[in-house]
Amino acid sequence: MGSQNSSFASVGNTLRSIAFFGSVHLYKRYCGSFIGVGWSLLNPASQVLLFYFALSYVLRVPIDHYGFYLASGLIPWSFLVQALSNSAMSLTARRDQFLSFPQSPAMVVAGDVWADFVGFGLALGLLTLGRCFTSPETWRILFIMPVVILPLVIFAFSTGLVLSYMAVPFRDVPHLLQLFLMTNFWAIPITYHWSMVSDPTLSLLVKWHPLALLLAPIQVTLQSGSQPSMAVTTAAFSIAIVALAAALVLNALKRRTFILQI
């Protein structure tokens, strides 16, 4: 019983630390802002509206429930881009803090990801409620969504931790990351469906893109209003677990020595 209480206390302390770092990050980001966290909703909403107008009314993309399909891809993608971009600079941006007061790098990165998750969770929650409102028979996705987004959140934290460690000796990592994300946006079926790619080889590459597989469960759930297939869910969790394993190994190797390079 004592060991169980100790474990629960340890988990509670970890969650409180993550919430603290995330709250500090949110405060610094939105301090003095008129609408505060509301910007985390307005930014993806404006993106969705602009893309929806251009692709639905101008180019007329032939996808059922295209608004939900587009939003279910753009909102998670925005979260992933924001989380990875901020995480890549989590350690280097806090150089003075780490030098003056020892902190857990994993906790700091988790706090940054949590700060970005707040806006993502609000936006996705509103989108899910909107989907249920337009099609009442899809109310079950309210219970499915927490499981569906889990691989993306795990991947964002794990990859963010890896990038944060890599950026300590190699300060070009955040810039290379931005280039990678920018070029891969159109390689992922967010604004289109992979079946619309005419070339068979390119179609397979787009369909099985690792980042596309992470977004697929959310897209399928919100567009179809039903649970994604086991294959889609398994693929997303597999990618997340591989990323988490890599992050845990690197954290074990670098958490005590990264300070020498920062």
What DSSP letter does each residue of 15-55 carry, written as one string?
A: HHHHHHHHHHHHHHHHTT-SSGGGHHHHHHHHHHHHHHIII
In this prediction the pTM is: 0.89
pLDDT at residue 48, rounded to an integer? 86
Tell which wins on pLDDT, 35 or 151: 151
Q: Is the pLDDT of residue 215 over 90?
A: yes
Q: What is the DSSP letter of 227?
A: P
Structure tokens at 126: 């509103």
pLDDT at residue 100, rounded to an integer? 83
> How many separate domains does the chain show?
1
Establish if 92 belongs to a structural domain. yes
Residue 16 has a CB neighbour count (10 Å cut-off) of 10
Inter-residue contact 155 to 240 (CB < 8 Å): yes
Convert the pLDDT of each residue in 128-169 to its tens digit.
Answer: 999 999 888 888 899 999 999 999 999 999 999 999 999 999
Establish if 5 belongs to a structural domain. no
Q: Is the pLDDT of residue 11 over 80?
A: no
Q: Is the pLDDT of residue 103 over 90?
A: no
Query: At 41, phi and psi to the nearest 5?
Result: -95, -40
Inter-residue contact 214 to 152 (CB < 8 Å): yes
Q: Percentage of residues in the chain with pLDDT exceeding 90? A: 55
Tell which wins on pLDDT, 38 or 213: 213
Establish if 235 belongs to a structural domain. yes
Q: Is the pLDDT of residue 46 over 80?
A: yes
In order, the DSSP letters of 170-187 are -TTHHHHHHHHHHHHTTT
Establish if 146 belongs to a structural domain. yes
Q: Is the pLDDT of residue 5 over 60?
A: no
Mean pLDDT computed over 50-67:
81
Tell which wins on pLDDT, 2 or 250: 250
Establish if 4 belongs to a structural domain. no
- Average pLDDT of the residues of the chain: 87
pLDDT at residue 9, rounded to an integer? 56
Structure tokens at 92: 């280097």
Establish if 63 belongs to a structural domain. yes
- Distance CA(262)–CA(75), nearest Å, equals 33
pLDDT at residue 175, rounded to an integer? 95
Establish if 10 belongs to a structural domain. no
Establish if 2 belongs to a structural domain. no
Q: Is the pLDDT of residue 3 over 60?
A: no
Dihedral angle sign, alpha carbons of residues 112, 113, 116, 119 = negative
Segments forming the whole domain that contains residue 138: 20-260
